[in-house]
């Protein structure tokens, strides 16, 4: 297996409605920004991996439309769709393409265009996904009303409510800690020119003043539905060293689909457990990825984390699953400011998914943001310390899919 590095990153500005561009133009912008950053021409790219959340935006075969907008005409294109974790898996697929020796330069790009759905937010897309995921139960004779009485209600948001409640119960944390995470992420996003929800100086008290959506979440806790795209150029070691001053190496990766997910849990005739805060798939992915990366003690060796956290409890849960804090203690580290941009273990200095959620793109952006931190190109949201190793997550599928990627300034 060959070493693989990220040699260029590109993204678009994220906002609620990018009506100025169509889907192909928006993704094209991200890819061209990445190619420019890497100083690579489209002719030099050997292969592309692409993806968004299946069904969102209502374009069934987006790769067909995009091809000649991103420089992929006449080249191999692999489309990946694993729900919210899509971007992480798109990046991992590009890694495999280069690590295998099959291709020398690959471009990974992921996106979402929520505003192409007619209903506010992501309702149309979610309807698509929920229907696809629940049709097996309908076939078994369960009525839709019955499905809604289970934890499926509200899709990822419904699951996240239970997840947050379970986590707060077993860790001893409170809703105030959700306020703190969200406020930190809004503040960080204000330093990231590409981010969607920017709120300079946001305090936990500001978040606590927002209305309830579904307990334990207030409006201020929840991610927006964003339009946007991101892209990265990956290259084999020879090319990376020749073409890039500071290549970022993908040192370890893993993606597990977790059988404890809600849809196949006890309540729905499956063998999984009901506690959505366990996220066993994240633990398994982290162990595998760290071993591959040669990371023995993530608390000492990881310098920054970009965690997929559309809901603030997820930053705490996944930080623990990644071994960045001891079990049930991430909220104490949060209280001490350890996860702040200038803290001991900065979590989501970009503002993360909590501030910007172009779903398909979100997990790729986590990897991209880690790469920017290692390259020292994160500008205003650069963490004020040396970054040697970073870890990125994605969470999706039907709440079951986890992708963990470990990055570093050296391939070893």
Partner 1 sequence: MSSQSEIVLTKVPVPLVAGFQWSVGELMEKFIKALADRKIWGVKCPECGYVYVPPRWRCGKCYAKLGEENLTELSGKGILLSYATAYVELDGAGSFKDLSEPKPIGAIKLEGADSTLFMPLGEVKPEELKEGMKVEVVWREEPKGELADIKYFKPAKR
Residues that bind partner 1 (CB under 8 A): 17-23, 25, 28, 32, 42, 57-58, 68-69, 71, 73, 113, 115-119, 124, 127-128, 130-131, 138, 141, 143-144
Question: Half-sphere exposure (CA, 13 Å, Cβ side) for 55?
Answer: 16
Is residue 356 within 8 A of residue 198, CB to CB? The reply is no
| Closer CB to partner 1, 118 or 245, in the complex | 118
CA distance 196 to 16: 8
- Residue 221 burial by CB count (10 A; 0-12/13-18/19+): exposed, middle or buried? buried
CB of 58 to partner 1, least distance (A): 4
CB of 278 to partner 1, least distance (A): 30
- Torsion, CA 192, CA 193, CA 194, CA 200, rounded to 10: 60
Q: In degrees rounded to 5, what are phi and psi of residue 185?
A: -70, -40
| Closer CB to partner 1, 263 or 341, in the complex | 263
Could you tell me how far CA 292 lies from the centroid of its own chain?
21
CB of 68 to partner 1, least distance (A): 3
User: How many other β-carbons are positioned within 10 Å of the β-carbon of residue 271?
Assistant: 9
CB of 144 to partner 1, least distance (A): 6
| Closer CB to partner 1, 124 or 382, in the complex | 124
CB of 44 to partner 1, least distance (A): 12
Is residue 340 within 8 A of residue 305, CB to CB? The reply is no
| Closer CB to partner 1, 119 or 327, in the complex | 119
Question: Structure tokens of 55?
Answer: 């069904």
What stretch of H or E contains 60? none
CB of 385 to partner 1, least distance (A): 39
Q: Is the peptide bond before 216 cis (omega within 30 degrees of 0)?
A: yes
Alpha helix positions (H), 209-254: 237-243
Q: Is the peptide bond before 335 cis (omega within 30 degrees of 0)?
A: no
| Closer CB to partner 1, 145 or 245, in the complex | 145
CB of 27 to partner 1, least distance (A): 11
Is residue 387 within 8 A of residue 304, CB to CB? The reply is yes
Question: Half-sphere exposure (CA, 13 Å, Cβ side) for 294?
Answer: 9
Going along 292-360, which residue ranges are E strands? 304-306
| Closer CB to partner 1, 59 or 78, in the complex | 59
CB of 61 to partner 1, least distance (A): 14
CB of 84 to partner 1, least distance (A): 19
| Closer CB to partner 1, 226 or 393, in the complex | 226
| Closer CB to partner 1, 12 or 115, in the complex | 115
Is residue 294 within 8 A of residue 251, CB to CB? The reply is yes
CA distance 355 to 307: 12
| Closer CB to partner 1, 32 or 166, in the complex | 32
């Amino acid at each position: 297996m060959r070493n693989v590095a990220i040699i260029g990153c590109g993204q678009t500005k994220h906002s609620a409605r990018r009506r100025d561009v169509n889907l192909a133009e928006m993704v094209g912008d991200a890819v061209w920004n990445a190619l420019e950053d890497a100083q690579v021409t489209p002719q030099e790219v050997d292969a592309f991996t692409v993806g968004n959340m299946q069904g969102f935006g209502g374009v069934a075969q987006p790769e067909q439309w995009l091809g000649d907008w991103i420089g992929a005409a006449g080249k191999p294109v692999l489309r990946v769709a694993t729900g919210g974790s899509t971007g992480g898996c798109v990046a991992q697929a590009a890694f495999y393409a280069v690590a295998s020796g099959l291709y020398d330069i690959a471009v990974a790009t992921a996106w979402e265009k929520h505003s192409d759905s007619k209903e506010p937010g992501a309702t149309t897309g979610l309807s698509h996904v929920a229907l696809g995921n629940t049709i097996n139960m309908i076939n078994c004779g369960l009525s839709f009303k019955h499905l809604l009485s289970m934890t499926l209600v509200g899709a990822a948001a419904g699951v996240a409510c239970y997840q947050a409640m379970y986590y707060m119960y077993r860790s001893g944390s409170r809703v105030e800690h959700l306020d703190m995470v969200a406020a930190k992420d809004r503040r960080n996003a204000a330093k990231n020119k590409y981010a969607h929800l920017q709120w300079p100086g946001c305090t936990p008290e500001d978040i606590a003043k927002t209305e309830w959506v579904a307990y334990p979440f207030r409006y201020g806790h929840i991610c927006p539905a964003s339009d946007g795209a991101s892209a990265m150029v990956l290259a084999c070691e020879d090319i990376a060293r020749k073409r890039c001053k500071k290549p970022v190496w993908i040192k370890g990766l893993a993606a597990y689909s977790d059988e404890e997910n809600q849809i196949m849990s006890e309540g729905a005739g499956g063998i999984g457990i009901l506690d959505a805060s366990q996220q066993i798939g994240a633990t398994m992915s982290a162990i595998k990825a760290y071993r591959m990366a040669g990371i023995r003690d993530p608390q000492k060796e990881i310098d920054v984390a970009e965690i997929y956290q559309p809901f603030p409890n997820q930053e705490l849960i996944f930080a623990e699953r990644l071994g960045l804090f001891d079990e049930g203690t991430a909220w104490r580290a949060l209280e001490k400011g350890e996860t702040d941009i200038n803290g001991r273990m900065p979590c989501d200095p970009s503002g993360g998914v909590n501030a910007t959620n172009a779903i398909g793109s979100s997990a790729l952006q986590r990897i991209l943001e880690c790469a920017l931190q290692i390259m020292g190109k994160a500008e205003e949201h650069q963490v004020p310390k040396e970054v040697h190793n970073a870890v990125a997550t994605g969470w999706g599928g039907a709440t079951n899919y986890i992708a963990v990627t470990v990055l570093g300034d050296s391939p070893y």
